[in-house]
Every structure is written in structure tokens, then in C-alpha cells.
Amino acid sequence: MHDAMPEHIRPAILLGTFVGLRVAEVSALRVDDIDFVHGVVLPKRQWPDKR
């Protein structure tokens, strides 16, 4: 599936596969949601992020 997707979509495929994120979580992911030191992704919102 990864290789069949356009290049700009591939990171989202990897996040869904290896991190277990849903499409809405990947779409709203921000750099602040990633703990690079501990290798943890903690999504704080989903797309669309409406109040």
C-alpha cells in the first residue's frame, strides 16, 4: 500500500501502520504532539478540529 501511494501521502500511511493513528489523528498531527526523546506520539486533536 505504501509504495502504491503518491509520495506526499506515504508518511500518513506509515503513521497509521506503525503508530496506530487514525486518519483524523494523522491529519491534525503537529510537531508538538511528538515526543522525540521518548519516541512517543500523543495526538491531542483530530481533524476537523472544531470547538
Look up the domain containing 3 and give its range.
1-51
Q: Which residue has the cell 498531527?
A: 29
pLDDT of residue 23: 84
pLDDT of residue 41: 93
Rg (CA), the chain: 12
Q: Dihedral (C-alpha) 19, 24, 30, 36: value to the nearest 10 degrees?
A: -10
pLDDT of residue 13: 87
Number of domains in the chain: 1
pLDDT of residue 37: 96
- Per-residue pLDDT 10s for the chain (51 aa) are 899 999 998 988 888 889 988 888 888 899 999 999 999 999 998 888 776
